[in-house]
């Protein structure tokens, strides 16, 4: 095929700046070929190179004695969990592909992260996801209006809103279906996740997929092309034109025009094929014949070849005529940049080629010996007898351009910080407001989502979706098959059961209103969820879903978010083991709220320490750990769900997050759990204390969809008195400020941080309160479990709501919106 001439216009279409192109020419010492231009484009995209975020990522804590493979070393991080066993885990995004083709975008997002795990030599044992969409029901696109004003709106506006809602529902349904399809067919339980709905994601949904796998220390596999003279094998299905230059597509703004142009950049997944590839690769690894292995994910064959060579300091030569191809007459550009799924690149010890062929033939999988490892340090590609690519591997893999972007605080934050509750009427209908919050899709039960997932396959799930954190057990059959040498070394293959907890969190609205505090809150809440399950953090993986780094105001959001994540992970001893940067998440309607999703994994010492969020028995005492209300002017209502749902405002500084206070709370709760004093624990987050209490009453299932409702009577009339912790307690005239008057809505629905609702035996309540206070944690008994209602007494009155009504609003909200 005749290749196009390299012109400035063609360079620009490949998303390379003139300076970047000049650097590529300098590296090569000549004008690149068309295929080489494509390779530079994908390898120097943000998705592959992190050229705008690399300096920020270096600020993350990444070290601990338990880390076996750290951030940036390989396809996923690996952490020791004791007894020679380790876990590999990572989270990645598939945002733009899911916006264009929601089903295939989501399926291939799951498939890609699963490959990242078994590429490390680990057997994938569970999946988690974090999703964001535009509103799926009316009222979510604008503040509430009275009936007369709503009737006066034009028919065109109503029709436009309904079209937007319909599209949001289409994207939501397609993504969930895609996740379910891939995970269920592959045979991996999807055990946890989160879903938010907000107009900021309307033109750019977020789809983040997490996977965790298990292996022995001696089974860790590296993605390095070691051993000069070793053969290179391509294994898995044939290469097609799907997914062409997907990494580059993910590194540009999403518009209708770019989406239509890049529809071919969305890959097509086959979970049954991936299952075969996974089992074949794990079996092959057990033979000891593999010198290095990597999946062909972002940038396809390009990324796997140059990165593997760069890691080993070697060169690699491949022959494209030997690459299995689905379409006739594919060009070298298409073969190298295709992101067709379920493909692996494996470097095999010379002389052991027949073992590769035998195993992949057994699994009825395509394979081809396509190349060899050299000592040149170059990635060389031949096609049709011609040398079409000759690039220094390390230059393109490790020496991409790195930018120090300008960061300027956005002007909108002045209004956010100046926001006060003046003019915001206090609640007079707390029971109705509680039902509205429970029915808000971002708070409502996500059973419509997770009931589509198989969350029990492989019989390792201990705590299913619906509690603060998922818990799985690691058992002997969770591990990959051992080689003969390892089996002889290990002896008895059985392992003592390990309990792993995991969660994923981020409130993008908080981060928009204060990127630093919002990111800290994301880490603190994730670790609080683990503490409520009985787990101590081991490590974290993050997904920076962010807008364009090219605008200083938006880059400031990115920079401050990373600062908050880094401080949070450091405070909780949860080093970052890897993750993903997904920038340019913005549509013509504007940028998304910055959403630095964080997934934290923890270890539970004993089975009896596993704790869930729902109340257990009639008569149990209910206690609140932590301050009831934040002693700031907004009293924890800034950025709250209550302000958004009841008053139509996403405004105000979010609650403050004191990491030392949070850490002390978590340590205290873990100690109480390990002492056998806690029967349930649930963190207070979106919707505040009232929502946490309601969820503790209505969230337990005794069968797949049969709830167990158990009521509570709570007295908050004496817990609203909070000390004034403002830094300056003097007014402008030098006199002492009067104490804060706690609002009822702040007490019930404020989102003050570092609070947990627990229950215990009645006789243990005094002991729990005393122990908590000894640790410096505020604690008070606020009620008892029992009855068929949630009844709450405050200093101004009392309200009661039947559990059947609360459960109906919470459980069925999303299903009704999607009907």
Task: Give the mean pLDDT of 566-572.
Answer: 98
pLDDT band with cut points at 50, 70 and 90 for residue 228 = very high
pLDDT band with cut points at 50, 70 and 90 for residue 738 = low
Q: Which of 142-151, 283-292, 437-446 has the lowest mean pLDDT?
A: 142-151
762 located within any domain? yes
- The string of DSSP letters for 297-315 reads -TTHHHHHHHHHHHHHT-E
pLDDT band with cut points at 50, 70 and 90 for residue 729 = low
**Active site includes 94?**
yes
In whole angstroms, what is the distance from residue 558 CA to residue 593 CA?
A: 10
763: CATH: 3.90.650.10
pLDDT of residue 141: 44
- How many other CB atoms sit within 10 Å of the CB of residue 206? 26
- Can you name the residues that pair with 88 across neighbouring β-strands? 78, 213
599 located within any domain? no
Task: Give the mean pLDDT of 380-409.
Answer: 94
710 located within any domain? yes
503 located within any domain? no
442 located within any domain? no
- Does 101 score more than 80 pLDDT? yes
- Does 259 score more than 60 pLDDT? no
Q: What is the pLDDT of residues 122-153, one digit of tens each?
A: 999 999 999 999 999 986 544 444 444 444 45
- Does 766 score more than 90 pLDDT? yes
pLDDT of residue 142: 44
Task: Give the mean pLDDT of 463-471.
Answer: 96
Task: Give the mean pLDDT of 88-101.
Answer: 95
730 located within any domain? yes
H or E stretch covering 540? strand 536-545
Contact criterion met (CB below 8 Å) for 115 and 346: no
> Exactly one of 14, 23, 47, 349 is catalytic; which is it?
47
Task: Give the mean pLDDT of 498-509.
Answer: 98
In whole angstroms, what is the distance from residue 449 CA to residue 177 CA?
A: 9
In whole angstroms, what is the distance from residue 286 CA to residue 121 CA?
A: 9
- Does 754 score more than 70 pLDDT? yes
- Does 793 score more than 60 pLDDT? yes
% of the chain at pLDDT higher than 90: 86
- Does 265 score more than 90 pLDDT? no
Name the residue range of residue 676's domain: 612-819
pLDDT of residue 151: 46
pLDDT band with cut points at 50, 70 and 90 for residue 207 = very high
- The string of DSSP letters for 664-724 reads HHHHHHHHHHHTT--SEEEE--TTHHHHHHHHHHH-EESSSS-EE---EEEE-TTT-----
pLDDT band with cut points at 50, 70 and 90 for residue 724 = very low
Mean of the per-residue pLDDT values of the chain: 92
Contact partners, residue 268, CB within 8 Å, separation at least 6? 104, 108, 240, 242, 243, 340, 341
Task: Give the mean pLDDT of 114-123.
Answer: 97
- How many other CB atoms sit within 10 Å of the CB of residue 329? 7
pLDDT of residue 727: 46
Task: Give the mean pLDDT of 439-443.
Answer: 98
Number of domains in the chain: 1
604 located within any domain? no
SS3 141: coil
Q: What is the pLDDT of residues 145-185, one digit of tens each?
A: 444 444 445 666 888 889 999 999 999 999 999 999 999 99
Task: Give the mean pLDDT of 346-360.
Answer: 96
Q: What is the pLDDT of residues 668-690, one digit of tens each?
A: 999 999 999 999 999 999 999 99
> Exactly one of 14, 94, 378, 807 is catalytic; which is it?
94
pLDDT of residue 64: 95
Q: How are beta strands 206-216 and 123-133 bridged, if at all?
A: antiparallel
pLDDT of residue 143: 42
pLDDT band with cut points at 50, 70 and 90 for residue 306 = very high
795 located within any domain? yes
pLDDT of residue 148: 41
- How many other CB atoms sit within 10 Å of the CB of residue 384? 11
**Active site includes 784?**
no
């Amino acid at each position: 095929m005749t290749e196009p001439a390299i012109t400035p216009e063609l360079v620009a279409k490949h998303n390379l700046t003139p300076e970047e192109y000049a650097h590529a020419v300098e590296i090569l010492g000549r004008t690149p070929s068309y295929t080489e231009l494509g390779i530079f484009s994908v390898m120097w995209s943000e998705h592959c190179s992190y050229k705008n975020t690399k300096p920020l990522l270096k600020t993350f804590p990444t070290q601990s004695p338990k880390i076996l493979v750290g951030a940036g070393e390989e396809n996923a991080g690996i952490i020791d969990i004791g007894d020679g066993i380790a876990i590999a885990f990572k989270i990645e995004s598939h945002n733009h592909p899911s916006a264009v083709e929601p089903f295939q975008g989501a399926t291939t997002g799951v498939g890609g992260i699963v490959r990242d795990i078994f590429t490390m030599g680990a057997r994938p044992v569970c999946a988690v996801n974090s999703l964001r969409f535009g509103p799926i029901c009316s009222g979510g696109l604008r503040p509430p209006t009275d009936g007369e004003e709503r009737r006066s709106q034009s028919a065109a506006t109503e029709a436009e809103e309904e079209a937007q809602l319909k599209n949001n529902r289409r994207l939501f349904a397609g993504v969930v279906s895609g996740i379910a399809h891939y995970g269920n067919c592959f045979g991996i339980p999807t055990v946890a996740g989160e879903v938010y709905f907000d107009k900021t994601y309307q033109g750019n949904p977020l789809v983040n997929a997490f996977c965790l796998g298990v292996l022995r220390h001696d089974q860790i596999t590296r993605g390095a092309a070691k051993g000069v003279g070793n053969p290179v094998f391509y294994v898995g299905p044939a290469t097609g034109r799907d997914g062409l230059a997907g990494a580059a597509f993910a590194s540009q703004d999403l518009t209708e025009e770019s989406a239509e142009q890049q529809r071919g950049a969305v890959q097509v997944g086959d979970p049954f094929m991936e299952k075969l590839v996974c089992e074949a690769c794990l079996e092959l690894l057990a033979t000891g014949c593999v010198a290095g292995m990597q999946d062909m994910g972002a940038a396809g064959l390009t990324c796997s070849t140059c990165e593997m060579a760069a890691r080993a300091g070697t060169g690699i030569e491949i022959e494209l005529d030997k690459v299995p191809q689905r379409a006739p007459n594919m060009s070298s550009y298409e073969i190298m940049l295709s992101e067709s799924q379920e493909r692996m690149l494996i470097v095999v010890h010379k002389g052991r080629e027949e073992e590769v062929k035998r195993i992949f033939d057994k699994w009825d999988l395509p394979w081809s010996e396509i190349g060899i490892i050299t000592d040149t340090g170059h990635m060389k590609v031949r096609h049709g007898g011609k040398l079409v690519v000759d690039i220094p591997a390390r230059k393109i893999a490790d020496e991409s351009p790195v930018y120090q972007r300008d960061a300027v605080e956005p002007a909108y934050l002045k209004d956010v910080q100046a926001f006060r509750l003046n003019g915001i009427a206090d609640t007079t209908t707390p029971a109705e407001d509680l039902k509205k919050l429970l029915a808000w899709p971002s708070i409502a039960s996500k059973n419509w989502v997770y009931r589509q997932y198989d969350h029990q396959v492989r019989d390792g799930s201990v705590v299913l979706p619906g509690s603060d954190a998922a818990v799985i057990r690691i058992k002997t059959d969770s591990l990959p098959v051992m080689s003969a040498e390892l089996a002889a070394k290990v002896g008895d293959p059985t392992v003592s059961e390990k309990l792993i907890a995991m969660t994923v969190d981020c409130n993008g609205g908080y981060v928009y209103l204060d990127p630093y505090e919002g990111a800290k809150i994301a880490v603190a809440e994730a670790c609080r969820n683990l503490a409520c399950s009985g787990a101590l953090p081991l490590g974290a993986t993050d997904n920076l879903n962010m807008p364009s780094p090219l605008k200083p105001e938006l880059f400031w959001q990115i920079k401050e978010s990373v600062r908050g994540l880094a401080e949070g992970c450091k405070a909780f001893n949860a080093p970052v083991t890897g993750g993903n940067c997904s920038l340019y998440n913005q549509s013509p309607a504007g940028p998304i709220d910055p959403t630095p999703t964080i997934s934290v994994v923890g270890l539970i010492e004993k089975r009896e320490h596993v704790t869930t969020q729902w109340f257990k028995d009639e008569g149990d005492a209910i206690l609140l750990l932590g301050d009831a209300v934040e002693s700031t002017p907004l009293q924890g209502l800034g950025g709250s769900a209550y302000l958004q749902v009841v008053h139509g405002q996403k405004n105000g500084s979010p609650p403050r997050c004191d990491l030392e206070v949070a850490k002390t709370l978590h340590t205290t709760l873990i100690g109480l759990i390990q002492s056998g004093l806690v029967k349930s624990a649930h963190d207070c987050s979106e919707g505040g204390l009232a929502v946490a209490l309601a969820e503790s009453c209505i969230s337990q299932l005794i069968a797949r969809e049969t709830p167990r409702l158990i009521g509570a009577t709570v007295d908050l009339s004496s817990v609203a008195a909070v000390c004034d912790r403002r830094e300056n307690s003097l007014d402008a005239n030098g006199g002492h400020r009067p104490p804060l008057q706690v609002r009822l809505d702040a007490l019930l629905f404020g989102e003050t941080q570092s609070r947990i609702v627990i229950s215990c035996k009645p006789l243990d309540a005094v002991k729990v309160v005393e122990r908590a206070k000894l640790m410096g944690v505020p604690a008070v008994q606020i009620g008892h479990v029992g009855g068929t209602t949630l009844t709450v007494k405050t200093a101004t009155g009392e309200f009661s709501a039947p559990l059947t009504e609360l459960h109906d609003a919470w459980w069925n909200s999303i299903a009704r919106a999607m009907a």
